[in-house]
Amino acid sequence: MPEEIEVLLHVANLLPDRLGPVEHVLTLVIRVEKNARPEQTDALEAAAAAVLAILADDRSTGEGEWAAAMAAWQDHRIRKVVRRARGAEWARTDALPNLTVTCGTAEVRVFPPVPLDAVPKDLAKLQVTGTDFDQPTAPAVPHPGVPVLWINPALNMSSGKTMAQVGHGAHLTWLALTPLHRKEWATAAFPLAVRRTNPAHWSQLLQTALPVVQDAGFTEIEPGSRTVIADHPQLRR
């Protein structure tokens, strides 16, 4: 498979009203060791939490060292690419600027956005395809009041693709919240849950004003597919 096609496999996009001059990409890397693979739900929740962590980081705003890159990224299609690494590959990625988030069995690193043609070599060479995880037991029912990213039950997406989609769901939630509610969520270390819902509940969610992720449809699913609905209690008020 050509590399330029592989790079799009786990990409989700958000489109601002006006496009900036240079398209950037934010990379998420999940640790996948031969004998220690993460569980599906942990991987999804770690991806969502990692996106929130970099959005909330002081370096991403104001005069922070990542602020210009974050602004340029969000002025264009907001691309997120999920890759995987193990062993020495994983260790090398820590030499780059990043934040590492752990959720249960999953470790995810998020890296500040860079132009599409300037992805660091130690990230660009990591595999994108074949990122699928198991869920040995059904995840628990989310605690009342915890924000939930609901996945469309009608779509069949790989784990990597779904990680990008829930990352977008977390991003949309962040953008929709007030500064006060963002701060409260960050102070609490971003409690959240990711769950696949049932068709009846999905239909009900679509009738609300909650943020909905629509995928560009480069791979795996049709363009415009609604993949994730972001259900934060503060967005229901």
For the chain, helix, strand, coil in percent to 5 are: 35, 20, 40
pLDDT at 19: 53
| Residue 32 near residue 38 (C-beta atoms within 8 A) | yes
Using pLDDT thresholds of 50, 70 and 90, give the confidence band for residue 141: very high
pLDDT tens track for 40-72: 999 999 999 999 999 999 999 999 999 999 999
CA angle in degrees (0–180, nearest 5) for 121-82-166 = 155
pLDDT at 5: 26
Domain count, the chain: 1
- Mean pLDDT, residues 126-137 taken together: 87
pLDDT tens track for 174-214: 999 999 999 999 999 999 999 999 999 999 999 999 999 99
Q: What is the pTM of this model?
A: 0.91
| Residue 12 near residue 168 (C-beta atoms within 8 A) | yes
| Structural domain harbouring 99 | 3-236
Q: What is the CATH number of the domain that holds 229?
A: 3.40.1490.10
pLDDT at 20: 57
Measure the CA–CA gap between 41 and 222, rounded to whole angstroms.
24
Place of tokens 């977008």: 168
